[in-house]
Amino acid sequence: MRIKDIRLYTISTTIQYKGIFWEERLLRPIDIYPEHDTEGPGEWNLIKIGNELYKVRGTFVEIESDEGLKGVFGPLGAPIGDIEAFIISQRLKSLLLGEDPFEREKLWDKMYRLLVHGRKGYGMMAISAVDCALWDLIGKALNKPVYVLLGGPTRDKIRAYASMLGFSVNPSEAGKRAEEYVEKGFKSMKWFLRYGPQHGIKGFEKNVNLVKAVRDAVGYDVDIMVDAWMSWSVDYSFKMACALDRYEVSWLEEPLMPDDLTGYIQLRKKMRSAGLNIKLAGGEHEYTRWGFKTLIDNEIFDILQPDIAWAGGITETLKICSLASASGIQVIPHTAVMAATLNLAFGLPSNVIPLAEYLVKWNIINQAVYSTQYHPVSGEFDRPRTSGLGLEFRKDIEREEFGFFSRAKR
Q: How confident is the model over 85-113, as pLDDT tens digits?
A: 999 999 999 999 999 999 999 999 999 99
Give dist(CA 55, CA 136) in Å, integer.
26
User: Do the beta carbons of residue 380 and residue 157 sit within 8 Å?
Assistant: yes
Question: What does pTM read for this prediction?
Answer: 0.96
- The reported pLDDT for the residue numbered 54 is 94
- The reported pLDDT for the residue numbered 266 is 98
User: Do the beta carbons of residue 388 and residue 2 sit within 8 Å?
Assistant: no
Look up 334 and say whether it is catalytic: yes
What's the helix, strand, coil split of the chain in %, to 5?
40, 20, 40
Q: Measuring CA to CA, which residue among 141, 140, 138, 127 is closest to residue 96? A: 127
Contact partners, residue 152, CB within 8 Å, separation at least 6: 346, 347, 348, 383
User: Do the beta carbons of residue 210 and residue 169 sit within 8 Å?
Assistant: yes
- The reported pLDDT for the residue numbered 277 is 96
Residue 202 CA from chain centroid, whole number? 30
Which of helix, strand or coil describes residue 355? coil
Give dist(CA 355, CA 381) in Å, integer.
10
> Which listed residue (117, 199, 285, 334) is catalytic?
334
Give dist(CA 319, CA 321) in Å, integer.
5
- The reported pLDDT for the residue numbered 404 is 59
- The reported pLDDT for the residue numbered 218 is 98
Contact partners, residue 307, CB within 8 Å, separation at least 6: 284, 333, 334, 335, 336
Give dist(CA 379, CA 158) in Å, integer.
9
Which residue(s) pair with 12 in the sheet?
Answer: 57, 398
User: pLDDT tens track of the chain, all 410 residues?
Assistant: 999 999 999 999 999 999 899 999 999 999 999 999 999 998 778 889 999 999 999 999 999 999 999 999 999 986 678 899 999 999 999 999 999 999 999 999 999 999 999 999 999 999 999 999 999 999 999 999 999 999 999 999 999 999 999 999 999 999 999 999 999 999 999 999 999 999 999 999 999 999 999 999 999 999 999 999 999 999 999 999 999 999 999 999 999 999 999 999 999 999 999 999 999 999 999 999 999 999 999 999 999 999 999 999 999 999 999 999 999 999 999 999 999 999 999 999 999 999 999 999 999 999 999 999 999 999 999 999 999 999 999 999 999 998 754 444 33
- Report the 3 state secondary structure along 230-286: CCCCHHHHHHHHHHHHCCCEEEEECCCCCCCHHHHHHHHHHHHHCCCCCEEEECCCC
Q: Measuring CA to CA, which residue among 220, 285, 228, 214 is closest to residue 31? A: 228
User: Do the beta carbons of residue 2 and residue 138 sit within 8 Å?
Assistant: no
Sign of CA dihedral 373, 377, 379, 383: negative
Domains of the chain: 3-144+395-408 (3.30.390.10), 148-382 (3.20.20.120)
